[in-house]
Chains A and B, each alone.
Chain A
Amino acid sequence: MAVPDRLAAAAVSPGEAEGAKLVARLARGEAAALGEFFDRYSSLAYGLAVRILRDPTEAEDVVQEVFVQAWRQAARYDAARGTPAAWVCTMARTRALDQVRRRTARREESAENGPQLAAPLPDSAEALAVRSALASLSDDQRRALELAYYEGLTQSEIARRLDQPLGTVKTRIRTAMIRLRETLAGVLP
């Protein structure tokens, strides 16, 4: 599925330019910028953490860690490694997967007992583009990619989980990433 033109038009997102300015202010130690940065990106970090952890309380802890980390390490932010939104997502994913690995006992769907989870917010143009690019992958590619991304499994673990040869799994993930990159060229920086 090709990305519709109206999404490609969102390529230079004014929102991300604002985000980059906020990161620069964080790096200078402006506490007020942290509040603005939180307001802009916390729902993104929270949505991703909820998706990985399936536990709103743990996801809140992850969001807190992410923004304290952003405050401390803003000076190390490197635009070459992604937009501020991508930076926030990377931190949230890393922290959430760390939390998954820390869990000693597998708990039974605690999300049911936890605090009420807010409904998803409407997708931004960029989010919609990423979602449709993922949808354009084959089922096999998407499944392997999701196990890597949301469950943090290594290539060998994915091969065992899917009962496929390691080489096949590596190829699926690599091909999927290259395909995503091509599909999203012009949509994401």
Chain B
Amino acid sequence: MSDHPQRELAPLAALGTLDGESLLDWREHAQGCAECRAELAAFESLAGSMGLAAGARRVPPRLRQRVMAAAVGVAAPARPARAPWVLAAAASLAAVGLGAAYLSARAQKGVLERRLARESAVTSLIKAPGTRTVVLAGLPAAPGAQARVVWNVEKRQAVLMATGLEPPPPDKAYELWVIAGGAPVPAGVFRSGADWEALHQMPWVEDAAQVKTFAVTLEPAAGVTAPTGPMVLAGAVS
């Protein structure tokens, strides 16, 4: 084993306890050594089982409901794909046992950055002169929901923000409608997330300049040209 000293690091790598030069040494070696990766997998399995020694405790009853609610909006296998680099990073990090913590921090950072970018766009829209706001109330099909549409005719921008809106089934989506007197004009489909929130950047429709009502219905995921499903939110422009 003298030509293979890194193998001795596998038990420590499995616990995530390597640091400094040992960590660099391990990373560099394990990427190209199937034997060491197999050794790592065996020790990772052992490390996982060590958790049994902590002693099981019954969880508070409310936790099951919380978990189910949080997962409902997380359509399991067919979720929108993550950025390819995240998957590549996941694969290579998993291969050498370098912390899921790192991955989740990176992935979370990406999510937060995208969210921040969207929110700062909304903030600048809200601050612009001529911007108007209307509140949409939840209808009997979605009694706990509430939304706000912020729009600016001169900038030709509109955003809908919703809370308390149940994530739609996988084959459905919410569709926003602009009603200016004639037939409702479709203004894009969107989904709410696991947190029951949604932020929808509306494609500009000319009728928004004379809009009298914004409404949201539940429709097939691809969207429809005239509303067919139950109305979940509506708000009249005064």
A residues at B contact (CB < 8 Å): 26-29, 31, 34-35, 38-39, 42-44, 46-48, 50-52, 56, 60, 63-64, 67-68, 71-72, 74-75, 78, 80-83, 85-94, 97-98, 101, 115, 117-121, 123-124, 126-127, 130-131, 134, 145, 148-150, 152-158, 170, 173-174, 177-178, 180-181, 184, 188-189
B1 within 8 A of A: no
Given A34-B71, A177-B14, A27 and B51 contact (CB-CB distance below 8 Å): no
Q: B residues bordering A, Cβ < 8 Å? A: 8, 11-12, 14-20, 22, 41-60, 63-64, 66-68, 70-72, 74-79, 99-101, 104, 194
Partner of B57, one of A67, A75, A117: A117
A-B interface pairs (CB < 8 A), number: 209
Contact residues in A for B20 (Cβ distance below 8 Å): 156
- Which of B49, B56, B100, B101 makes the CB contact (< 8 A) with A82? B49
Q: How far is the CA of A175 from the CA of B100 in the complex (A)?
A: 25
* B71 partner residues in chain A, CB cutoff 8 A: 31, 34, 67-68, 71
- How far is A68 from B66 in the complex, measured between Cα atoms in Å? 10
A85 to chain B minimum Cβ distance, whole angstroms, is 7
Residue ID in chain A nearest B62 by CB atoms: A60
Let me know if B51 and A60 touch, CB within 8 A.
Answer: no
**What's the least CB distance linking B221 to chain A, in Å?**
16
Residues on the B chain within 8 Å of A91, using CB: 100
Residue contact A121 to B57, C-beta cutoff 8 Å: yes
B63/A155 in contact, CB under 8 A: no
- Beyond A43-B59, A46-B56, A68-B74, is A34–B48 a contact (Cβ under 8 Å)? no
User: Which residues in B have their C-beta under 8 angstroms from that of A120?
Assistant: 55-57
Max chain A Cβ within 10 angstroms of own Cβ: one of B17, B44, B64, B66: B17
Q: Which single residue of chain A is at the shortest CB-CB distance from B19?
A: A154
CB <8 Å contact, B56 and A90: no
User: Do B51 and A72 touch (CB < 8 A)?
Assistant: no
Chain B interface mostly helix, strand, loop or mixed?
A: helix
Q: Kindly identify which residue among B8, B15, B57 contacts A50, using a CB–CB cutoff of 8 Å.
A: B57
By DSSP majority rule, is chain A's interface helix, strand, loop, or mixed? helix
- Within the complex, the shortest CB–CB distance from A127 to chain B, in Å, comes to 4
- The smallest C-beta distance from B106 to any residue of chain A, in angstroms, reads 13
Can you list 8 contacts pairing A with B, beta carbon distance less than 8 Å? A29-B76, A31-B68, A43-B57, A50-B57, A80-B45, A86-B45, A86-B46, A118-B59
* Cα distance A43–B45 in the bound complex, in angstroms: 19
Which residues on the B side are within 8 Å of A118 (C-beta)?
Answer: 57-60
Q: How far is the CA of A183 from the CA of B49 in the complex (A)?
A: 13
Closest to B52 in A: A127
Q: Quick one: which of B51, B66, B100 contacts A44, CB cutoff 8 A?
A: B51
7 pairs of A and B residues whose beta carbons are closest in the complex: A86-B48, A89-B51, A177-B11, A82-B45, A154-B19, A43-B56, A29-B76
Q: How far is the CA of A121 from the CA of B56 in the complex (A)?
A: 5
The answer to whether B59 touches A154 (Cβ under 8 A) is no
Determine if B12 and A155 form an interchain contact, defined as CB atoms under 8 angstroms apart.
yes
Q: Given the complex, which residues of A lie within 8 Å of B194, measured CB to CB?
A: 68
The closest CB in chain B to the CB of A135 belongs to B53
A-B contact sample (14 more), CB < 8 A, given A27-B77, A85-B51: A28-B77, A31-B71, A38-B67, A60-B59, A72-B79, A92-B51, A94-B99, A94-B100, A119-B57, A124-B52, A131-B52, A154-B19, A173-B17, A174-B8
